[in-house]
Amino acid sequence: MSALYMVVGLVVALGVLVTFHEFGHFWVARRCGVKVLRFSVGFGTSLLRWHDRHGTEFVVAAIPLGGYVKMLDEREGEVPADQLHRAFNRKPVFQRIAIVAAGPVANFLLAILFFWVLAMLGGQQVRPVIGSVLADSPAAQGGLAAGQEVVAVDGEAVDGWGAVNLRLVRRLGETGELAIAVREQGSTAQVLHKVPIKAWLKSVDNPDPIGGLGIQPWRPALPPVIAELDPEGPAKAAGLAVGDRLLRVDGQPVDDWQQVVDKVRARPGKSVLFVLQRDGQERELTLTLAAKGEGKARTGYLGAGVAGGEWPADMLREVRYGPVAAVGEALSRTWSMSVLTLDSLKKMVLGQLSVKNLSGPITIAKVAGASAQSGVGDFLHFLAYLSISLGVLNLLPIPVLDGGHLLFYLVEWVRGRPLSERVQAWGMQIGISLVVGVMLLALINDLSRL
């Protein structure tokens, strides 16, 4: 079923985002009097094909990894004299800029729409209360302690762990101090803590910002009673069964599932002795943990889980916006994610973040499937983030991308004449090399995660 969700999620996500992006180009081109020859969603063999009354050919192709709008243009073929006024290359430069920019702008507008809907739907947020702080961690050095509730990060208010994580992601790879404001239990006063960071999680793949500070979020205690097993995991292979209660791990008593998780993660590939209770009797079981990840990110894997616990009502808060307030929230979230995407790209170029964090179609498919399986809200979140990424990436000043064309047209606007065809051809070759190189790197990262 998960594979089906991956395929359907990816096709729907790319179908929606690519169609909207290309529709932006199409709509503005029509308004500027440019003749659109073809509007294609996908590449390769045509699955569906039809024409409208203006003679535009609409195509749905077999490979849903992009799309394009083909316009009448003298650079791509001979144009009849009576149609020259409808050719893209004959339009004033500001109209060509508008047509090219319309695609990325459409992606940002779509993200705003999704965030607006999500803000009105609202939902429950877990209060960002600290459960524990690791000794000698950045959080401990900054004076953070269990029981404190995080209320702001770097001066920006937060209402849940998701918002805390988003604020922290912005500081990955940096050196300096994190300004974290907290509120003690039973108090309304805020206390500001300065948390030191140095090249923070710079070379870590798939970094965990909250855990990287040494913070463990508070959550209800979960008894270590096995409720589910991975059929291919070491726990199942060694004989652990649903209903077993873990009592000790390598001789150390455990009464909460998180204690088990912490011990397992710290022992990748190692042999571990479990003492468990089954049918009222204690038993010993030795198994070798699997390992996931590489390098510093390598962790142990047991392949077992427990049933979820109930959250106390006072640890949850309802966050919902009215139609007008939701507009501001949607604009703010779109802007924040756009800046974060650009900042992350800059840090990868400067070496402050690992390029292994780049994701390709396989990872996108996995996230699409997981979010679709989780529900409409999660899938809309995914679509909004992906739409922003598509918009930002297309605006990068790299020939072949929309941003590269915008760069050429802006130079033409300033100079009063276009760059020579030879310079533009060189730019295109460089752009193609960069794009193909990045795509190959992202695909290699995807395969390494598998």
Please state, in angstroms and rounded to a whole number, the distance separating the CA atoms of residues 208 and 172: 10
Q: For the purposes of burial, counting CB atoms within 10 Å of the CB of 30, is it exposed (0-12), middle (13-18) or buried (19 or more)?
A: middle
Q: Is the pLDDT of residue 292 over 70?
A: yes
Q: Is the pLDDT of residue 321 over 80?
A: yes
Please tell me the number of Cα atoms within 13 Å of 340 on its side-chain side: 19
Distances in Å between the alpha carbon of 41 and those of 59, 66, 139, 186? 6, 7, 48, 56
For residue 327 the two structure tokens come to 């507009």
Please state, in angstroms and rounded to a whole number, the distance separating the CA atoms of residues 220 and 211: 18
For 228-309, which CATH class? mainly beta
Share of the chain above pLDDT 90, in %: 51
Answer yes or no: are the C-beta atoms of 185 and 146 closer than 8 Å.
no
Mean pLDDT along residues 11-39:
93
DSSP string for 218-242 = -------B--EE-TTSHHHHHT--T
Hey, do 123-220+315-319 and 228-309 end up sharing a CATH topology, with the first three levels equal? yes
For residue 129 the two structure tokens come to 């209360």
Q: Is the pLDDT of residue 65 over 60?
A: yes
**H helix or E strand, kind and range, residue 286:** strand 281-288
| CA 202 to the chain's CA centroid | 18
Instruction: Dump pLDDT digits (tens) for 193-236.
Output: 999 999 888 877 778 899 889 898 988 888 899 999 988 889 99
Residue 420 sits at φ, ψ, to 5 deg, of: -65, 155
Q: Which active-site residues does the annotation give? A: 22
Mean pLDDT along residues 154-163:
90
Which of 195, 61, 216, 80 lies closest to 139 in space, CA to CA?
195
Please state, in angstroms and rounded to a whole number, the distance separating the CA atoms of residues 41 and 14: 9
- pLDDT for 296 equals 58
Instruction: Dump pLDDT digits (tens) for 380-426.
Output: 999 999 999 999 999 999 988 999 999 999 999 998 888 888 888 89
Please state, in angstroms and rounded to a whole number, the distance separating the CA atoms of residues 198 and 294: 22
CA terminus-to-terminus distance, the chain:
18
- pLDDT for 141 equals 93
DSSP string for 421-441 = HHHHHHHHHHHHHHHHHHHHH
- Asked whether the whole model's pTM tops 0.85, one would answer no
Please state, in angstroms and rounded to a whole number, the distance separating the CA atoms of residues 258 and 72: 62
Residue 1: band (very low, low, confident or very high) from pLDDT cuts 50, 70, 90: very low
Answer yes or no: are the C-beta atoms of 178 and 142 closer than 8 Å.
yes
Domain boundaries, given as residue ranges, for the chain: 2-32+91-121+376-449, 123-220+315-319, 228-309
- pLDDT for 431 equals 87
Protein fold of 123-220+315-319: Pdz3 Domain (2.30.42)
